[in-house]
Amino acid sequence: MASSSSSSLSRVVVKSSDNNLFVVNKKVASQSQLLKQCIDNMEEKGTNDVILIPLSNVTSNILTLVLEYCEKHADFADDDNNNQELKQWDHEFLKKFDYATLNSLTMAADYMVTKSLLNLCCQFIADSIKDLTVQQIRQIFDIKNDFTPQEEADIKNENAWAFR
């Protein structure tokens, strides 16, 4: 993930919850508002040391993915979300993952305040569950049905067209 072209001042080190270190270009790191805030705070204090930012909630395999996303998006302007190439890349990027990874990625994007990734993950999950049955959704999200059969039937009867 490290960018080799920038000076030490323009890089930060991010530590995952399982203690792996990632050297990240500042421009890439700034895609995350959490990392950007840390960098801004340190710069205000006039620190010249390399900044180490520990992320206690994100494992290295998920952090790798978040940083891959940030690196791609750092090359585009903030208002370039409608760029077709970028949209295509986003889709290809997410479609490789299973629900477990998507969930972890969503939580990491939320924790690291990477809004565009959070939005992208939520939309992607929504699109992929919108035509599933109730049973399939319970399985995916590991949810126990706490309705009685009668209660469930009553709700289904109400808007039967939606269950076709």
Partner 1 sequence: MAIELLHDDLLEEILLKLPVKSLLTIRCVCKSWYSLITSSRFILAHVSHNNRAKHQHVLLRSFDKADKKVRYKLCQDNEYLDEIISIDSPFVSQHNNFLRMVGCVNGLVCLSDDIVEVTDNVILWNPVITRILALPKLELNVDLTEMGRTVFGFGYDSFNNDYKVIKIAYRKNPDFEAFHVEASIAIFRLSSCCWEVNGSASVPLLDTQQAYVNGIIHWLAYNKLVVGFDVKTEAFTDMMLPETLQNANISDLTIASWCELLSVFENGYWSGRLCLWVKKDYGVPGSWVKQFVIDSYVMVRSLRSNDCVILENIGGKLILYNSKTNQFEEFKVHVEGSIHGFHLESYVESLVLLDRMDARFIPQKSAGLPRVVHSNC
Site residues, partner 1 (CB under 8 A): 98-100, 103-104, 106-107, 110, 118, 122-123, 125-127, 129-131, 133-134, 137-138, 140-147, 152, 155-156, 158-163
Question: Crossing angle of helices 60-74/99-111, nearest 10°?
Answer: 70
Nearer to partner 1, 8 or 145 (CB): 145
* Minimum CB–partner distance for residue 75 and partner 1 (Å): 26
Q: 51 and 29 in contact (C-beta within 8 Å)?
A: no
* Minimum CB–partner distance for residue 63 and partner 1 (Å): 16
Q: Which residues make beta-bridge pairs with 51?
A: 12
* Residue 106 phi, psi dihedral angles, 5° rounding: -60, -45
Nearer to partner 1, 71 or 110 (CB): 110
Nearer to partner 1, 2 or 155 (CB): 155
* Minimum CB–partner distance for residue 155 and partner 1 (Å): 5
Q: 106 and 122 in contact (C-beta within 8 Å)?
A: yes
Structure tokens at 146: 């706490």
Nearer to partner 1, 7 or 159 (CB): 159
Radius of gyration of the chain from Cα atoms?
20
Listing from the earlier edge strand, what are the strands of the sheet with 51-54? 21-25, 11-15, 51-54
* Minimum CB–partner distance for residue 32 and partner 1 (Å): 17
